[in-house]
Amino acid sequence: MTVTVSQAPQYSSLPMTDVNRWFPSTWDRGPNWLVWLGIASSFIAIFIKLWTPISINRIPEALYTLPFFFALYKNFHWLKKDRIIQLFFAALLWPVIAFGIHYLQDPETALEYRKMDNLARLFLFVPIAWWLGGNTRTLGWYLTTAFSGLLLACLLDPNLPATLTALAQGKRVDFNILNAQHVALYFSIAFIGLLSVTQLVISSTKSVKDTWKPLLYVAGLIICIAVVLGTQTRAAWLALMACAGIWIIQLGWRYRYKKPGGKFLISVLIFTSISGFIGYQFSDTVVKRIQTEQGTLNHIISGDWENIPYTSIGIRINTWIEATRWIADKPVTGWGGNVRKVIIDQAERFPEWVRDRFGHFHNSYLEFSLAYGLVGLLLLLGVFTQLLWRINRLDHTSPQWIKTFSIYSIALLLVMNFFESYFFFWSGIYVITVTLVIPYAAILSQQTSPDVVKNKPFTHSSQG
């Protein structure tokens, strides 16, 4: 049940064991013990995900997901009207419906390609947003916990000294976390998160004793920029450039009739100084990384699609060409969640080493079209469209950093998934649970349920 800000209780007067004293919410999330379980498991899951085996990190995921269905059942009278919840149910149903269609057409291939959880896993952010409650402080601690877990995962790299040496020498690094492309995504999101709170850091530094805040902040920026450059992932560079372009457009529109404030100018100065210095240090690496694809780009520009070399970009283009042929055969329903490796193994255009080394198409949108057809792709894009549209409609009570982080993190995700199949890896789902939780929790905090209209009193469930 949602209440307006004016109806919110004085949380400091609640019992010490009441979850709303520490993690307040504008809606009744359920019994006290259940909310504690949901919040604790959400924080633990996001902290340990990158440095523990699946057998361990799936436990807190189950602990925050399964109880949510109880909360969903108890609040279904108003949650059923929420577009994200509707898309969630559609993501559960569509793979089953598509499988039934495939089975009627060809039972053998339907069974071979079946995999139904890829769409539903995109919505793991929903239960976390429910448990966190939409409180600004809670959301800030959630992002801080995620960033701390990321830094710890890097520090646990068994070859950390060698990795840091390679980073300083301009060589590609991945900190032993999957591969460089995924590390680039993590630190790009962290970089956007830090930029989103720049003015908060500046405004909270009121005396000498507060200088640790900007020092930690600048250290975080330096780490993020250095790692993003060190991963040598051009998709991350392009995505951040796209975000910078959006920022420039927004900046021009915002200040079209007035001059920017002093705090904003200080923020821009800090950002450009750090970026310029680190960019200069890595300039040779960036130039070399771009120049290696010159031949591939020449083939693409000339339209010579059949002779594109198998460079980093060339592999992507060749696999995309093959994927579009399969998509054309089943554009609406797709083939099933396990079809991608079969296509790569069967494609005659790919050399043997490509078949052995790669099992995906480096593009989440093509992957979803292959697996679940146009319907699956629209479900995927519908989630981001809904969140972007609704986060821009939040009223003035929502902090600006939430809107900023939400818009730019979603923009970065959308761009980077053109060049990597992040959403088909557990790491991509991890990033979604970090990013989409923030806008959705803020959206839930401003929704109004029928109970509020009827002036039904707020309940704390402090006794469990």
Note the pLDDT tens digit of each residue in 219-263.
999 999 999 989 988 889 889 988 888 887 777 677 666 666 665
Residue 217: inside a domain? yes
The helix or strand, by DSSP H or E, that contains position 267, with its residue range, turns out to be helix 262-281
- Burial class from Cβ neighbours inside 10 Å (0-12, 13-18, 19+) for residue 198 reads buried
pLDDT at 184 over 80: yes
Query: What's the total number of domains in the chain?
Result: 1
Q: Which of 55-64, 299-308, 442-451 has the highest mean pLDDT?
A: 55-64
Q: Kindly indicate the confidence band of residue 206, based on its pLDDT and cuts at 50, 70 and 90.
A: confident
Residue 300: inside a domain? no
Q: Which residues pair with 2 in a beta bridge?
A: 27
Residue 421: inside a domain? yes
pLDDT at 316 over 70: yes
| Domain, as residue range, for 229 | 28-292+361-453
Least confidently predicted of 4-8, 190-194, 285-289, 299-303:
4-8
Average pLDDT for 412-439: 92
- How far is 464 from 79, CA to CA, in rounded Å? 22
Residue 312: inside a domain? no
pLDDT at 303 over 70: no
- Which phi-psi region, left, alpha or beta, contains residue 178 (left: φ > 0; alpha: ψ -120 to 50)? left
pLDDT at 93 over 80: yes
pLDDT given at position 288: 63
pLDDT given at position 456: 36
More confident residue, 82 or 266: 82
Specify the length of the chain in residues: 464
Q: Kindly indicate the confidence band of residue 209, based on its pLDDT and cuts at 50, 70 and 90.
A: confident
pLDDT given at position 436: 97
C-alpha distances out from residue 307 to 44, 180, 398, Å: 49, 27, 52
CA atoms within a 13 Å half-sphere pointing along the CA-CB vector of 227: 28
Least confidently predicted of 68-82, 133-147, 234-248, 421-435:
234-248
Residue 249: inside a domain? yes
pLDDT given at position 449: 47
36: Cβ–Cβ under 8 A, 6 or more apart, which residues?
Answer: 19
Of the candidates 364, 462, 371, which has an alpha carbon nearest to the alpha carbon of residue 23? Answer: 462
pLDDT at 8 over 60: no
- How far is 194 from 77, CA to CA, in rounded Å? 38
Average pLDDT for 391-411: 89
Residue 288: inside a domain? yes
pLDDT at 462 over 70: no
pLDDT at 459 over 60: no
pLDDT at 205 over 90: no
Q: Which of 96-100, 346-350, 425-429 has the highest mean pLDDT?
A: 96-100
- How far is 432 from 121, CA to CA, in rounded Å? 10
pLDDT given at position 286: 58
**pTM, entire model:** 0.86
Q: Kindly indicate the confidence band of residue 10, based on its pLDDT and cuts at 50, 70 and 90.
A: low
Please write the tens of the pLDDT for every residue from 40-80.
Answer: 999 999 999 999 999 899 999 999 999 999 999 999 988 99
Taking residue 460's Cβ as centre, other Cβ atoms within 10 Å add up to 18
pLDDT at 332 over 50: yes
